[in-house]
Amino acid sequence: MSKAWEQFAQWRLAKTRWNCEPQDIPASEKAAFEQAWRRQHFLEQAIIQQACDLPLTDALLQRIDASLAELLTESAFTGEERQAVVRHHALMELQFVRISGQTPLPDDLTVLTWYQRNQEKFMRPEQRLTHHLLLTVDNDNDVVRRQAMQFYREIQTSREAFSRLAKRYSHCPSALEGGLLGWISRGLLYPELESALFALPENGIAVPVETELGWHIVWCEHIRGPQALPQTEALEKARDFLWRQSQQQWQQTWLNRLLAEMPA
């Protein structure tokens, strides 16, 4: 009788590659399925044999269970079978982590050479020193819109009014800092706010913008254009990138060595 992890792996392989249950694979595809399953079964067994000494934590088991929850529910496993499958996948993950951890770090010369050839990848994007005031809408949108326009006119007259108004009226957590959000790059705000903010000149105030949260006023105090990261920071990022690449290659080499031991 096959083990729970074998049943799950077969089912998952059939669903992923053939979009059907294992027993429903067309006769013309049976040989391809059996070949793929034989390879996968050998690899998973070999990985687990090397991982059997690794300690499993409740946190890891819970995370694996959550990541496989939908598949395990769809495949109708019992509670005991589900635990066995989760344990199997947790051990495999730990073994991959162990193998990855054996990857040598790239040496300084390799990192520096790669960085010098790819300096365009290490640019800090345009950022804007941003202040934000939010008025949420409870019942009367027109009243809140008029209040936002009144505040906008006050701030247009004097930027010093922004902090005072934000501290008193804003419903954004930044109110505690007088509305100061800090240096903002693209991709961090609601699309409507981002469009308004990045269309402003330095020291510009956007006409109140409406989103699902309410009415917003944004002030672009300063603009910091794209600039190269400091070399020390860039080199660390380059080292991390190269090491992650090496980890993938190291894992693949290890898997290839395991496959080389598979009986013909």
pLDDT at 148: 95
Q: Are 130 and 184 in contact (CB under 8 A)?
A: yes
> Across the strands, what pairs with 222?
129
Domain with CATH 3.10.50.40 in the chain: 123-227
Q: What is the C-alpha to C-alpha distance for residues 264 and 261, in angstroms, rounded to an integer?
A: 9
Q: Could you tell me the pLDDT band of residue 76, with boundaries at 50, 70 and 90? A: confident
pLDDT at 139: 72
pLDDT at 74: 87
Distance of CA 177 to the CA centre of its chain: 29
DSSP state, residue 15? I
Count other Cβ atoms within 10 Å, centred on residue 132: 23
Share of the chain above pLDDT 70, in %: 99
Q: What is the C-alpha to C-alpha distance for residues 100 and 106, in angstroms, rounded to an integer?
A: 14
pLDDT digits (tens, 9 = 90+) for 131-152: 999 999 877 889 999 999 999 9
Q: Could you tell me the pLDDT band of residue 2, with boundaries at 50, 70 and 90? A: low
Q: What is the C-alpha to C-alpha distance for residues 213 and 35, in angstroms, rounded to an integer?
A: 55
CA atoms within 13 A on the CB side of 25: 20
Q: Could you tell me the pLDDT band of residue 234, with boundaries at 50, 70 and 90? A: very high
Q: What is the C-alpha to C-alpha distance for residues 234 and 1, in angstroms, rounded to an integer?
A: 55
pTM, two decimals, is: 0.63
Fold of 123-227: Chitinase A; domain 3 (3.10.50)
pLDDT digits (tens, 9 = 90+) for 252-264: 999 999 999 988 7
pLDDT at 264: 73
* Rounded average pLDDT over 48-68: 93
pLDDT at 195: 95
Q: Which residues have CB under 8 Å from 35's CB, separation 6+?
A: none
The secondary structure of 92-143 as a DSSP string is HHHHHHHHHHTSPPPPHHHHHHHHHH-GGG-EEPPEEEEEEEEEE-SS-HHH
pLDDT at 86: 95
pLDDT digits (tens, 9 = 90+) for 162-196: 999 999 999 999 999 999 999 999 999 999 999 99
Q: Are 132 and 178 in contact (CB under 8 A)?
A: no
Residue 197 structure tokens:
């903010």
pLDDT digits (tens, 9 = 90+) for 77-136: 888 999 999 999 999 999 999 999 999 999 999 999 999 999 988 988 999 999 999 999
* Rounded average pLDDT over 224-229: 91
